[in-house]
Chains A and B, each alone.
Chain A
């Protein structure tokens, strides 16, 4: 009895827990797909990619030096003082909208909406994307609405400028318009909604990209428009 390993003797075959479970013993979406072992197929690709990345990084580091300006001087404000490039879209909006809207409200909304993208179902998938777009576009219009408010009640307009009330009013109006829009039978076609969602998200990415580019290459002293060759 001891001479035969347990698994090889059919009379004494030991069953694992999975042997008693109905169905395929894995939660893979398609158990019958064409698979290869990760080692070496995936691991070799990872090493190759890491090596190429490191080589590229070394070459770039030999060719281009990281910027180092003069010692920090609180008394000497550079003009313009630019944020890191990935925050330039926010700084560009700071040019149009009050700081709370462009620097706090929109980034906060972006993070919340980004996080909830997978949880919006059916036609509601349009909501987060539209919020993202509205969060970028409405503050750009904020200046116009504020100017109108200023012509009616200058004192109130000046006192509340930094909170960006016009943006909030426009957001509420946009939310009602969006509600009407979402009731339209246009959105019953799931495939069409998917395509529209992709287009809207790409528009959002495009707007952020353009704002970063403008901030990086087209803004000079006093945040004035400057052509790169000027």
Chain B
């Protein structure tokens, strides 16, 4: 095509572009001049070639699908989505019995909690005269709302359990030893944040269970000598669990703590990469 003079007519340019695609060449026979069906396998692979060669596709997927061991090692470094992974990993570390996948599962549960939590926020209003009704509506009126709420609740419990088991695993394998001491500390902070996320979420349904669990919990903070009552007042935003408490716990639960734990997780993973996978060693 390049040896032909540039076509000035827009219509011609469009038809030329179409005729120069692999799919079009395939259909109109190319060199042997035979016409072929759009339902053949060859047409599909020609179309695939066109899509993979197109500008928008290449802007998203800068490299072709990895085929060789070299591609496999490079994609972990060049792909944004995979760059937290090392290029290579010890075969030993991949065995299920080494990590039980607990850290990864905790991260997966956090992602599930983020997605289901955001979906719950479309229906939930953090007001004392509204919150409980929204919960009942979510159970009985909202399509699949009950499943959404169940998933968020059970994933939250599961995350506390999985994070605790992850910590136990790391202790028993002595994976907190040099050079990983700092990452153990970050892990303890992440465990605390997980519990605080779960605890602040506990109040939001505004049912009897929520109200009295938070009352019991914050009464403990109130027993600190000298500053206890002040601490409790700051937590509750008043003398007792009320609207001020609900909005405080809501903001902590959906903004402050998720941001904090996300940053902590990213740092935790980054340190795992820098210190190397322990893999039981």
Contacts and interface: CB of A to CB of B under 8 A. Distances in A.
A50 B104 CA distance: 8
Contacts, number: 190
A83 B105 contact: no
A176 interface: no
Contact of A99 (B109, B154, B171, B219): B219
Interface stretch (B12-20, B31-39, B40-48, B88-96): B88-96
A119 B181 contact: yes
Q: Is the interface of B mostly helix, strand, loop or mixed?
A: helix
A120 to B, nearest CB: 10
B125 to A, nearest CB: 15
B69 A37 contact: yes
Interface of B: 66, 69, 72-73, 75-76, 82, 85-92, 94, 101, 104-105, 108-109, 112, 128, 132, 135-136, 139, 146-147, 149-155, 157-158, 160, 168, 171-172, 174, 176-178, 180-181, 184-185, 188-189, 192, 195, 198-199, 202, 205-213, 215-217, 219-225, 228, 240-241, 276, 281
Contact of A81 (B207, B215, B225): B215
- What band does the interface of chain A fall in when counting residues whose beta carbon is under 8 Å from B? 35 or more
B276 to A, nearest CB: 6
Contacts of A35: 88-91
Instruction: Specify which of B101, B157, B180, B208 lies most central, judged by the most chain A CB atoms within 10 Å of its CB.
Output: B208
B88 A37 contact: yes
Contacts of A152: none
A201 B104 contact: no
Contact of A86 (B72, B82, B105, B195): B195
Given A35-B91, A69-B209, A198-B172, A82 B216 contact: yes
A78 B212 contact: yes
A127 B184 CA distance: 17
B206 A72 contact: yes
Contacts of B150: 60-62, 64-66
Contacts of B220: 90, 94, 99, 102-104
